[in-house]
Amino acid sequence: MGRYKIKDLSHYFKQYKKSVKNPVRFWDKIASDHFEWHQRWSNVLDFDMKEARFEWFKDAKLNITINCIDRHLKKKGDQVAIIFEPNNVDEEVQNITYKELYARVAKMANVLTEMGISKGDRVCIYLPMIPELAVSLLACARIGAVHSVVFAGFSSVALSTRINDCDCKLLITADGGFRGSKVIDLKQIADEALKSCPGIKDVLVVKRTHQPVSMTPDRDYWLQPLLDEAAAMHVAEVMDAEDPLFILYTSGSTGKPKGMLHTTAGYMVYMGYTFKNVFAFKKGDIYWCTADIGWITGHSYIVYGPLLNGATTVLFEGIPSYPDHGRFWDVIQKHKVNIFYTAPTAIRALAKESAAYFENRDLSSLKVIGSVGEPINEEAWKWYYENIGRRRCPLVDTWWQTETGGIMISPLAFVTPTKPSHATLPLPGIQPALMDELGNEIHGNLVSGNLCIKFPWPGMARTIYGNHQRYIDTYFSTYPGRYFSGDGALRDETGYYRITGRVDDIVIVSGHNLGTAPLEDLINSHPSVAESAIVGFPHDIKGNALYGFVILKEEAGNSDGDEIRKEINQLISDNIGPIAKLDKIQFVQGLPKTRSGKIMRRILRKIAENELNSLGDTSTLLNPEVVDNIMSNRL
């Protein structure tokens, strides 16, 4: 078992140079060569970085599902498109061929149409990781409806906020969901949410767990009987290049979640291109991404990217620790997975378990392994590369965001030599820049700064749904003329990028982005809380965990601290979801503030990280005395 062979990187540099010199020609060729269009574009790109207006493939007409499904039917109709691996090991695997996928999507599209959904309508999807989830996305795209998937781990309040923000007309959900040994009461959560969603006219319910649920007459319909009646043929709606494809919410550092809007042609071209090149996808490869379709990784690299390439994509309902910590490795062995894409938090958790879980598994089918979601520390990188990739598989550490649609900075498997914890080089077509605090670009190597992108790419989000100004303010105004990612990065001596993490008030916990400001607002609504500040601190498995500093109201003086801690976390669970719970809650007398009244989070971060000797300058604080007090009571 030797190392894998690297092809000549000079081919990459040649392509890269071409893509920067003439982006229009570069994307024009990719769009022409690899996709099916009803009508070609008259112009590849028209844009204005200041106003954040981007128009890709003007006048082109297409339907993304024709590219994901129909065009494969002739040669690959009997090839498996989706392998469904259920949560429970004793339940049968479903192998859904491209032909069957076509029929399922057509039926679903016909059901949606019968429910009165048409082009441009928003449909909310709140489902566990079952085939109906992928089918629902594709059925929406088929009829030109805009899907808005809400991760099934979100609470009823989070669900209703997202439904109302983009005025969804219809909800697709399930009676419940299996997750390890637990059953999630999805319908019950949805019912709670719908009490405050007057815009939802109908609810389609998938029977998954068969638990008893309440069905509201004239609103709730079991999906299966409707599918049984529907025709298995559907003529796809012809879409314009810039017609919306989907909305997906991501946390903001302030205020309500941002509904990132992605459009049709550019997203399709970018997902098809990046999937093939980053993972070195070859015909016949079995590909498995362990993300949830509720996140962008699942949209782009479980559903659209693989299907655009006619791949076989594994859809896994379960979790890495059920029935035991060998589940991932069992699934790889069972389905002879060739390309495996997962998150650092899962890798760190599994690395802690006994080697017996992976040592005697046959992982020889693997040829490429990948990581996404947060920086992968060196220890985890090496463990993954050695024990799972067995030093034979390139490890692609892929940096990107909900906003970017697809992978931006990453090794190309078998092309780019990898380096632990480095996302390495930009994909052709992507022009990164590091910026200093004054807004100047930092050139040269061995430097660090804030990570921006200088030129548009087809997969980028086009706006924040219903609030274009917020889109401009958040991403295009910190460094005028550039897209600002919110991440910090350094460039090493060879020009490789290493992403160092968020430079704003977003903390990534187990790969989930959490804005600290919305969490603080929520905690401050607790009747005993006067004020709070939340920061992230390093955590062995989750990457980061949340530390809350909370000032209680005077009248709460005699209450039980542990009781309030419990209530705060319950409040978070109910309003956002259990993923956002605080690991530590310290009650404090005051918070360190600047003279203008702003909380100095830098200091709180250091305290949470236990870096008490590097607090930096505290002399400009309005109330330096609170710092000692906080430090001495640190949890």
- Contact residues toward ligand WT7 (CB under 6 A) are 250, 295-297, 372-375, 397-402, 423, 485-487, 499, 502, 508, 513
570-to-291, 418, 533, 579 alpha-carbon distances in Å: 26, 43, 17, 11
Which lies closer to ligand WT7 via its Cβ, residue 223 or residue 423?
A: 423
Residue whose beta carbon is closest to ligand WT7: 402
Q: Could you tell me if 107 and 113 are in contact, meaning their C-beta atoms sit under 8 angstroms apart? A: no
Report in angstroms how near the CB of residue 621 gets to ligand WT7 at its nearest: 29
Ramachandran quadrant class, 146 (left: phi over 0; alpha: psi -120 to 50; beta: rest): beta
Q: Kindly report the number of other CB atoms within 10 A of residue 308's CB atom.
A: 24
Strand locations in 143-243 (E) = 146-149, 170-174, 177-179, 182-184, 202-206, 220-222, 239-240
Residues 123, 129, 132, 134, Cα dihedral to 10°: 70
Q: How far apart are CA 77 and CA 99, in angstroms?
A: 5
Is the CB of residue 615 less than 8 Å from the CB of residue 605? no
CB nearer to ligand WT7: pick between 27 and 295: 295
The nearest distance, CB 56 to ligand WT7, in angstroms, is 20
| Distance between CA atoms of residues 579 and 568, nearest Å | 14
Q: Which is nearer to ligand WT7, 177 or 411 (CB)?
A: 411
- How far apart are CB 403 and ligand WT7 at their closest, in Å? 7
Instruction: CB nearer to ligand WT7: give 372 or 415.
Output: 372
Minimum CB separation of residue 410 from ligand WT7 in Å reads: 7
Nearer to ligand WT7, 494 or 524 (CB): 494
Phi-psi label, residue 35: left if phi above 0, alpha if psi -120 to 50, beta otherwise: beta
Minimum Å gap between C-beta 319 and ligand WT7 is: 18
Nearest to residue 318, comparing CAs of 179, 413, 491, 417? 179
| Nearest CB to ligand WT7, comparing residues 513 and 516 | 513
Residue number with CB closer to ligand WT7 (37 or 295): 295
Report the residue number, 257 or 592, with the smaller CB distance to ligand WT7: 257
**Choice between 86 and 449, CB closer to ligand WT7:** 449
86 or 344: whose CB is closer to ligand WT7? 344
Could you write out the DSSP letters of every residue in 161-178? HHHHHTT-SEEEEES-EE
Side chain identity at residue 598, one-letter code: K
Closer of 320 and 486 to ligand WT7 (Cβ): 486
How far does Cα 77 stand from its chain's mean position? 30
CA-based nearest residue to 579, from 299, 324, 332, 373: 373
The nearer residue to ligand WT7, 35 or 496, going by C-beta atoms, is 496
> Rounded to 5, what percent of the chain is helix, strand, coil?
35, 25, 40
Nearest 5°: the CA angle 238, 243, 245 is: 95
Report the C-alpha gap between 502 and 485 in whole angstroms: 9
Question: Which of residues 161 and 544 has its CB atom nearest to ligand WT7 in the complex?
Answer: 544
Classified as helix, coil or strand, 21 is: helix
* DSSP 8-state code for residue 77: T
CB of 166 vs ligand WT7, minimal distance in Å? 18
Give the shortest CB-372-to-ligand WT7 separation in angstroms: 5
With contact defined as beta carbons under 8 Å apart, do 217 and 228 qualify?
no
Written as one letter, the residue type at 468 is H
Judge whether 83 and 313 are in contact, CB under 8 Å: yes
Among 585, 583, 579, which residue's Cα sits nearest to residue 562? Answer: 585
- The single residue listed with the structure tokens 């959900």 is 173
CB 295 to ligand WT7: min, Å: 6
Could you tell me the smallest distance in angstroms from the CB atom of residue 125 to ligand WT7?
Answer: 18
Which residues 6+ apart lie within 8 Å of 467 measured at CB? Answer: 258
Say if residues 288 and 337 touch (Cβ distance below 8 Å).
Answer: yes
CA quadruple 291, 180, 382, 2: dihedral sign = negative
**Least Å from the CB of residue 543 to ligand WT7:** 9
CB of 191 to ligand WT7, least distance (A): 28
- CA end-to-end span of the chain, whole Å? 47
Q: What is the spatial distance between Cα 116 and Cα 136, in angstroms, rounded to a whole number?
A: 15
- Nearer to ligand WT7 among residue 175 and residue 374 (C-beta): 374
Distance of closest approach, residue 248 Cβ to ligand WT7, in angstroms: 9
Q: How far is the CB of 291 from ligand WT7 (least distance, A)?
A: 7
Question: φ, ψ for residue 146 (rounded to 5)?
Answer: -100, 120
Rounded to the nearest whole angstrom, what is the least distance from the CB of residue 540 to ligand WT7 in the complex?
A: 17
Minimum distance, C-beta of residue 279 to ligand WT7, in the bound complex (Å): 14
* Complex with ligand WT7: residue 272 or 375, whichever CB lies closer: 375
Helices (H), 375-480: 378-383, 468-471
